[in-house]
Amino acid sequence: MDRPAPVITRSLFVFSLLYGGLVVLAGVLGTKLASLGHWPVLGDLAVESGIFAFLLLVVLSSAVAELHGTATANKLVRFGFIPLIVSMLLLTFVIHVVPPASFWTDQDAYARLLGQGARMQFAGLISYGVSQTLNVLIFSKLSQKGGRLLLVRAWIASMLSQVIDTVLFITISFAGTGLPIVQIMEGQIISKLVLSTIMVPPFIWFFVKLGRRLDA
């Protein structure tokens, strides 16, 4: 007996595709450390470039929560593990198993830029799952206070989730290595909070508006 096809709105379909691509892209972008310039009081700020994709993930999960509910947004986050894990396995396979062509001389640079140790991969999975779930939870809880102030709700949720993401990722990746993880956290957290303030409010407004137009 044929089951009826599940109803997926155009906005959910489009946002899910974009979300899956950004989950994969965040890890690739993260190999570059980007300068955010010199800021009054804060000084020179730098951040791993994957944050640009990761903040869009935060925005998309919040937009889905706003348009389609908390349960759907949580499913989006959980299904996001699939492209994330597949991309990690494929990169590991290509780097360590597939031999380079005899005339290709960039294997070492390729492996250095895109290869991550098992510990950092595990840290990425944990920090992604916890921070994205927390973002949806905080955004949804704030929505219950009346459902207004979309930009403020998204900004607060992104700020808190980014702090947790940084603490988890750096602690799991570097604890016990002798590196100054507290200092690393401080710089990353400040940089991410600045970017959250700049990026999240306009993008959440844009994606919620776009989603409503797609579904109209």
Residue 49 confidence (pLDDT) above 90: no
Domains belonging to the chain, first-starting first, are 10-215 (1.10.1760)
Which of the four pLDDT bands, split at 50, 70 and 90, describes residue 199? very high
Does pLDDT of 177 surpass 90?
no
Tens of pLDDT along 115-127? 777 777 888 889 8
Task: Render pLDDT for 133-144 as a digit per residue (tens, 0 to 9).
Answer: 999 999 998 887
What is the phi/psi pair of residue 43, to 5°? Answer: 85, -155
Mean pLDDT of the chain: 87
The pTM for the full model equals: 0.89
Look at the block and give the residue holding tokens 């507290």: 182
**Band (5; pLDDT cuts 50, 70, 90):** low
Average pLDDT over residues 50-55: 89
Please, which pLDDT band fits residue 159 given cuts at 50, 70 and 90?
Answer: very high
Q: How far apart are CA 162 and CA 55, in angstroms?
A: 9
pLDDT at 76: 95
Residue with tokens 């044929």: 2
What is the average per-residue pLDDT within 163-175?
86
Give dist(CA 158, CA 99) in Å, integer. Answer: 41
The pLDDT score that the predictor gives to residue 157 is 93
Spatial separation of the C-alpha atoms in residues 139 and 144, rounded to whole Å? 9
